[in-house]
Amino acid sequence: ADQLWYQEETMQALVAELTPVAAEFLQLAEAELRIQASLRGIPPGPAKEERRRKVHW
C-alpha cells in the first residue's frame, strides 16, 4: 500500500509541475494562431467560416 501511496504522490507532483507548462504552451499556441490569422486578414472566431464560404461560392 505504501508503494501505491508513493505513486499517487509522485503523480500529483508531476501534474502540479506540468499544469503551468501545459497552460503556457496552450496560450502560446493560441497566440500563434491569432497572429497567423491576423496576417491572413482573418478575424478570429466564427467570421472565419463565413468568409471561407463566401470564397467558395
C-alpha cell at 34: 491569432
Q: Using pLDDT thresholds of 50, 70 and 90, give the confidence band for residue 22.
A: very high
Q: Using pLDDT thresholds of 50, 70 and 90, give the confidence band for residue 51.
A: low
How many other C-beta atoms lie within 10 A of the C-beta of residue 16?
9
Instruction: Give the model's pLDDT for residue 56.
Output: 54
DSSP letter string over the chain? -HHHHHHHHHHHHHHHHHHHHHHHHHHHHHHHHHHHHHHHTPPSSTHHHHHHHHHH-
Predicted TM-score (pTM) above 0.95: no
* Percent of the chain scoring above 70 in pLDDT: 70
Pick from 48, 20, 19: nearest CA to 33: 48
Instruction: Give the model's pLDDT for residue 38.
Output: 85
Instruction: Give the model's pLDDT for residue 28.
Output: 94
C-alpha cell at 27: 496560450
